[in-house]
């Protein structure tokens, strides 16, 4: 990477194509370094700006990657770039937490059209930096390339700090199932509200249920519960990204067990109940079928569920998943059962 | 990730949109696991298929990410998907080697249109797997998402095995500059031949200079020279991805030194000389301005250049870069000087 022009600030209203990817990479690296100077962690030997970064955490490294595409996984007319960037980090970081890992760093790829403004890219990057720092990690590098649409890929690395990594396939008959958070399905509720407002051209409910909309734009799972669960000896864990039913089906199949949950034990806020009534939907469409909260689902030996987790069901001999006593094969199966 | 339908093989001629991303992820994970079973490394605690992978190498982790976009960084009408996948890995892995790291693993994001065939995605993945394994690493996970165009992001991690990481900014006056490989600029030569054939509608030279075209489609740098240089005590190192001139300018600025190289010391094959004559171009357009060979550029104390490296110049007090005695400010500056 060349450093020509690194002295002058970049006009945020200019386009990426006009300024050039290389010049903008200099700016992104400068932002990262400036913020990193106030968030130093002992783990980082060499930060962003060289060919590669070097991070030194004792013990194994946990790693996962996640991609979000504009118009498919997020919409710039519904979320500002900072929020989009932060959300991409949380999505990727949740996979680290789901193994019991603590986030140590992220590397980020931003692909964007040439007419994207510099301000949009810098804001995306600020959101990525901020979310990574809030999780205790550092942005370790990235790439910026031209493309026809915005594609964000965040790879997150983490440390286990002596804990055994928790796989999805370790649930045992007799275990209890538990989830983190106080509002599982809030992201799905927020999405439903946004879609409803869009369809009806009426923003009223978005104001009334602003917290749910915010939960969709930027979920805020307590990812520290991942390491907590690992240290508590969780038998199995995953993050709820594709809907609770899908994650249960995956955990049941991978563990060779049957899982049963009661939807009324799933933690929800009173605003979710109100919003479901107002939209005339079954609350379970959000709690059971909804995803993207990135809360954690774990299987624990009875009596070992850590504080901050809510027990929602149990692990049994057999196969398959039961919700409120009814067998479900897949998300579609649950939805047809639910309606 | 759900595992429904994992029993039946997927028809390669069907589209990704038809089969579904989730079903295809199952297939990709199965491919990875099958190949990995024959390439086990002690480093991997948990491979692909869970929320995240876990890798355990003693000491620091080197990490870098790199993105390639169809129509911009590669063309499916010029390269088959296996080659595209392998090239993406080499591009990313070269950054690990440039720090002195040995590749231990990759994680991969594939974004592609719904009408992409399953066969294309499986071939991309096979190329990624094969290249990662050839470098001694394992594919540790990935993501597959829909997009309007193919966007490939490869994040590579590596180990230093006790060596000190080599930054780009460590060159010292009195050092010698050296490069790896026997044909620096071969990728640029191959690209020039492809563009010429495309413009003229004549494939003749592509057959005559098949090795150069192959070097463009899939560069094959000896990335083991990265760790070798680190163990030899290299002072500075980077990979030549953006053209030798650009990398020299970066190294000079980051190190606070002047760099001087002689273009006739840059290692080239006789086929490059022939091809340059046939196309009527200055060979230096490929050796000095060309990039994407992903060979390594290093600065070493005199007398410490390892076998496999060719000395091409020296490090002096001062600033800036000189090629064949002429100062160059940037790639464009060199090109105008060259022509």
Render A142-191 in DSSP notation, one character per residue.
EEEEE-SS-EEEEEEEEE-TTPPP--TT---TT-EEEEESS-TTHHHHHH
pLDDT of residue B31: 80
What value does the mean pLDDT take over residues A272-276? 97
Task: Supply the range of the domain harboring residue A226.
Answer: 176-338
pLDDT band at B39 (very low <50, low <70, confident <90, very high): low
Any domain includes A169:
no
Residue B332 or residue A149, greater confidence: A149
Check A66 against B254: CB less than 8 A apart. no
What value does the mean pLDDT take over residues A243-267? 96
What value does the mean pLDDT take over residues A66-73? 94
Q: Which among B53, B60, B250 has the least Cβ separation from residue A2? A: B250
Any domain includes B100:
yes
To the nearest 10 degrees (0 to 180), the angle between helices A186-200 and A210-217 is 110
To the nearest 10 degrees (0 to 180), the angle between helices B186-200 and B210-217 is 110
3-state SS class at B206? helix
Q: Which among A3, A141, A149 has the least Cβ separation from residue B63? A: A141
Is it the case that residue A98 has pLDDT exceeding 60? yes
Same domain, A149 and A280: no
Any domain includes B3:
no
Same domain, A287 and A204: yes
Bridge partners of B176, per DSSP, are B300, B314
Inform me whether the C-beta atom of residue A64 falls under 8 Å from chain B C-beta atoms.
Answer: yes
Q: How many CB pairs under 8 A join A and B?
A: 212
Tell me which of B40-49, B120-129, B191-200 is least confident.
B40-49
Is it the case that residue A253 has pLDDT exceeding 50? yes
pLDDT of residue A146: 95
Inform me whether the C-beta atom of residue A168 falls under 8 Å from chain B C-beta atoms.
Answer: yes
Asked whether residue B78 is marked as a ligand-binding residue, the answer is no
Same domain, B78 and B211: no
pLDDT of residue A54: 93
Check B246 against A2: CB less than 8 A apart. yes
CB burial readout B144-162, b (16+ within 10 A) else e: bbbbbbbbbbbbbbbbbbe
pLDDT band at A183 (very low <50, low <70, confident <90, very high): very high
pLDDT of residue B133: 93
CATH number at residue A76: 3.30.1330.10
pLDDT of residue A107: 96
Spatial separation of the C-alpha atoms in residues B333 and A311, rounded to whole Å: 66
pLDDT band at B29 (very low <50, low <70, confident <90, very high): confident
Inform me whether the C-beta atom of residue B319 falls under 8 Å from chain A C-beta atoms.
Answer: no
Same domain, A96 and A145: yes
Any domain includes A168:
no
Spatial separation of the C-alpha atoms in residues A236 and A251, rounded to whole Å: 8
Given B106, B134, B159, the domain boundary residue is B159
Check B2 against A53: CB less than 8 A apart. no
Is it the case that residue B54 has pLDDT exceeding 50? yes
Any domain includes B104:
yes
CB B250 within 8 A of CB B238: yes
pLDDT of residue A2: 34
pLDDT band at B36 (very low <50, low <70, confident <90, very high): low
- pLDDT tens per residue across span A12-58: 999 999 998 888 888 888 887 777 666 666 678 888 889 999 999 88
| % of chain B beyond a pLDDT of 70 | 93
A chain contacts of residue B59, beta-carbon cutoff 8 Å: 56
Given B109, B124, B159, the domain boundary residue is B159
Inform me whether the C-beta atom of residue B146 falls under 8 Å from chain A C-beta atoms.
Answer: yes
Length of chain A: 339
Is it the case that residue B55 has pLDDT exceeding 50? yes
pLDDT of residue A338: 41
Asked whether residue B142 is marked as a ligand-binding residue, the answer is yes
Same domain, B134 and B183: no
Same domain, B190 and B216: yes
Number of domains in chain B: 2
What value does the mean pLDDT take over residues B270-275? 97
pLDDT of residue A34: 76
Spatial separation of the C-alpha atoms in residues B121 and A95, rounded to whole Å: 23
- pLDDT tens per residue across span B124-151: 999 999 999 999 999 999 999 999 999 9
* Residue closest to A228 by CA, chosen among A75, A139, A97, A73: A97
Taking residue A234's Cβ as centre, other Cβ atoms within 10 Å add up to 29
**Token pair recorded at residue B76:** 């499916």
Same domain, A294 and A224: yes
Same domain, B98 and B189: no
Check A2 against B57: CB less than 8 A apart. no
Any domain includes A264:
yes
Same domain, A21 and A142: yes
Same domain, B150 and B277: no
The whole-chain average pLDDT of chain A stands at 91
Is it the case that residue B91 has pLDDT exceeding 60? yes
Residue A57 or residue A264, greater confidence: A264
Given B99, B132, B159, the domain boundary residue is B159
Inform me whether the C-beta atom of residue A164 falls under 8 Å from chain B C-beta atoms.
Answer: no
Same domain, A334 and A209: yes
- pLDDT tens per residue across span B302-317: 999 999 999 999 999 9
What value does the mean pLDDT take over residues B13-29? 88
HSE-up of residue A308 (Cα within 13 Å, Cβ side):
16
CATH number at residue A319: 3.90.650.10
Same domain, A143 and A184: no
ipTM exceeding 0.85, yes/no: yes
C-alpha dist (Å) from residue A256 to A259, A318, B60, B324: 10, 7, 36, 68
Which residues of A does the annotation place in the binding site for ATP?
A: 142-143, 241
The whole-chain average pLDDT of chain B stands at 91
* Residue closest to B181 by CA, chosen among B312, B282, B302: B312
- pLDDT tens per residue across span B195-250: 999 999 888 999 999 999 999 999 999 999 999 999 999 999 999 998 899 999 99
Any domain includes B2:
no
Any domain includes B1:
no
Bridge partners of A48, per DSSP, are A50
* Residue closest to A216 by CA, chosen among A293, A134, A132, A272: A293
């Amino acid at each position: 990477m060349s450093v020509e022009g690194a002295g002058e600030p970049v006009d945020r209203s200019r386009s990426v194509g006009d300024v050039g990817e290389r010049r903008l990479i200099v700016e992104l690296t400068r932002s990262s370094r400036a913020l990193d100077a106030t968030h130093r962690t002992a783990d980082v030997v060499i930060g962003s700006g060289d060919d590669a970064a070097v991070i030194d955490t004792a013990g194994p490294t946990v790693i996962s990657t996640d991609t979000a595409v504009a118009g498919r996984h997020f919409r710039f007319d519904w979320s500002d770039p900072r929020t989009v960037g932060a959300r991409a980090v949380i999505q990727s970081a949740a996979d680290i937490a789901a193994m019991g890992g603590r986030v140590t760093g992220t590397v980020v790829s931003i692909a964007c059209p040439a007419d994207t403004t510099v301000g949009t890219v810098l804001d995306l990057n600020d959101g990525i930096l901020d979310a990574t720092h809030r999780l205790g990690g550092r942005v370790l590098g990235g790439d910026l390339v031209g493309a026809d649409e915005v594609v964000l890929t965040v790879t997150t690395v983490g440390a286990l700090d002596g804990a055994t990594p928790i796989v999805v396939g370790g649930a045992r008959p007799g275990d209890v199932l538990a989830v983190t958070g106080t509002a599982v399905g809030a992201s799905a509720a927020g999405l439903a509200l946004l879609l409803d407002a869009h369809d009806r051209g009426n923003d009223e409910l978005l104001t009334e249920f602003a917290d749910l909309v915010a939960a969709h734009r930027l979920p805020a799972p307590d990812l520290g519960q991942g390491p907590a669960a690992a240290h508590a000896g969780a038998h199995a864990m995953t993050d709820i990204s594709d809907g609770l039913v899908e994650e249960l089906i995956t955990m049941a199949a991978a563990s060779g067990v049957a899982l049963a949950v009661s939807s009324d034990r799933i933690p929800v806020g009173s605003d979710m109940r109100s919003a479901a009534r107002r939209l005339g939907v079954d609350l379970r469409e959000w709690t059971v079928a909804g995803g993207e909260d990135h809360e954690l689902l774990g299987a624990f030996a009875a009596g070992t569920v850590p504080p901050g987790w809510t027990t929602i069901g149990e692990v049994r001999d057999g196969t398959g998943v039961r919700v409120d006593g009814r067998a479900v094969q897949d998300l579609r199966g649950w939805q047809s059962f639910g309606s």
